[in-house]
Structure 1
């Protein structure tokens, strides 16, 4: 089983497929390395595709100290994966928790990214509800310690940002929740407490986003209510960002609508690599609609 060992001694499980320009996939809180299977199968036809599990997740080590978890560790582990695989630059694709890590990786290490894809990004990031979100995450961590991940996974069946996925694809949703129930309780609780429960708001870095000129694709389901306004905010703030909105779609966009997601990502990468994903002009931004 392939593992990348980080400088602080954590082994991260990963898999790769294909050859060509590399694409690194960074999963959400409720996912793991398996979450990107539809993308691994499709994009590996023309690219070297890598998927891995965060520390504390299936296949990877589960450190028992809170200090080993958090947003900064997740950002560092994106770089650690690239370093281990001797990849100078890659297209970085993140969902939700992974999209936060992807965005900040691009902010801190723009020389290591060819592009950024931020899917389902921004839950809890708006200033008005940010502290409440972090407190909710800390309460969720306590419940995971008490009841375990099987109980947490079962609860997602009634989550409004996941219900459309369950309606469209009961078989896929059952697989998703089964995988989630397999997550180590300790790793899940420590991640929830120290990543979700402590991360700063995306809005705190506005000047950095305004100066980040990497190509960025933002993808959001229109029924992913917590991510709608943050996605629009990032579209307006990042100078070279495009926004794709998927109709009647919730949070887990890459497995709820894999064909649409794959086409959008394929097109984005092709435009980036042909030099045709470029910022709009100031005149275009201020143009009258009539």
Structure 2
């Protein structure tokens, strides 16, 4: 464990262990670096593993200026942690907010990624819900400030795509909700305003995404409704993208179904390292139903 320093002088707490090809895990808005413990323990057996607390999440720095929070900074912070550890390239794995940061790292610094795993990423991407998402993000930020994290976590942790986790694993969900209540209210509010509410829709990034050839795995839960269509969009748009849909699963994928998530990720990483995760065969025409000549 230690602290990395970003280009704009923000200190980021990280945890690091294991040996082998590096994997860095990037957490979601409702989680923090502790959310990846099932993956850190599993993958440290044969990989160098890293997780870190995003800016705004203790014990990382919590800037009070909302302009210190942005989608670009979120992606660049991944690079800052890798630079601090002297890691040139890594498998980058992100959930939700971390999935967006992972995807943007692939756009901004593809040379740093061996692969990208983008899980549960889609909120705010659907054009028909874009304005609503921005408005509700601002309201969530206001409620973190008004009620405080401990109180508002009781509401936020019971969102429509979180109850699946509660139903399957009440103890695991309670740990998630308790940790959410420990988050700094200023950091949460500024993250929601500066990163979530301001990030571009995935659909507005269609051209650069269509040119990105980094091996990519997109993972969504089939009850995480606002990630399903964006996941299909990414699969259809990115040349070297695979899509996995986990049944009867919500948003908190890696904690809700840790064994299934770990198997998916392990197989993906193995295929990438074997050089077997290629771009889509050009003969697999999306417009074709059956071949007749």
> TM-score with structure 2 length normalisation?
0.97
Preserved contact between residue 24 and residue 50 of structure 1 (Cα < 8 Å) = yes
Q: Does 1:100 align with 2:116?
A: no
Farther-moved stretch of structure 1 (121-130 vs 249-258): 121-130
Q: Does 1:288 align with 2:267?
A: no
Alignment match, 1:54: 54
For 1:93-131, what per-residue CA distance to the aligned partner results, in whole angstroms no more than 9, with x for missing partners?
Answer: 000000001001101111110000000011111111112
Q: Does 1:84 align with 2:70?
A: no
Map 1:23-172 → 2, pairs under 5 A: 23-172=23-172
Map 1:187-198 → 2, pairs under 5 A: 187-198=187-198
Query: SS state of the match for residue 284, structure 1?
Result: coil
For 2:290 and 2:217, the matched residues in 1 are separated by 24
For 1:26 and 1:165, the matched residues in 2 are separated by 20
For 1:233 and 1:91, the matched residues in 2 are separated by 22
For 1:102-161, what per-residue CA distance to the aligned partner results, in whole angstroms no more than 9, with x for missing partners?
Answer: 001101111110000000011111111112101110111111111011122101343110
Alignment match, 1:7: 7
Farther-moved stretch of structure 1 (244-253 vs 152-161): 152-161
| Pairwise CA distance, 1:289 | 5.1
Alignment match, 1:19: 19
Give the RMSD, CA atoms, in angstroms.
Answer: 1.1
Matched positions, count: 290
Gaps of 5+ in 1: none
For 2:231 and 2:16, the matched residues in 1 are separated by 29
Preserved contact between residue 157 and residue 166 of structure 1 (Cα < 8 Å) = no
For 1:265 and 1:143, the matched residues in 2 are separated by 35
Alignment match, 1:275: 275
For 2:141 and 2:111, the matched residues in 1 are separated by 35
Preserved contact between residue 89 and residue 114 of structure 1 (Cα < 8 Å) = yes
| Pairwise CA distance, 1:288 | 3.1
Query: SS state of the match for residue 104, structure 1?
Result: helix
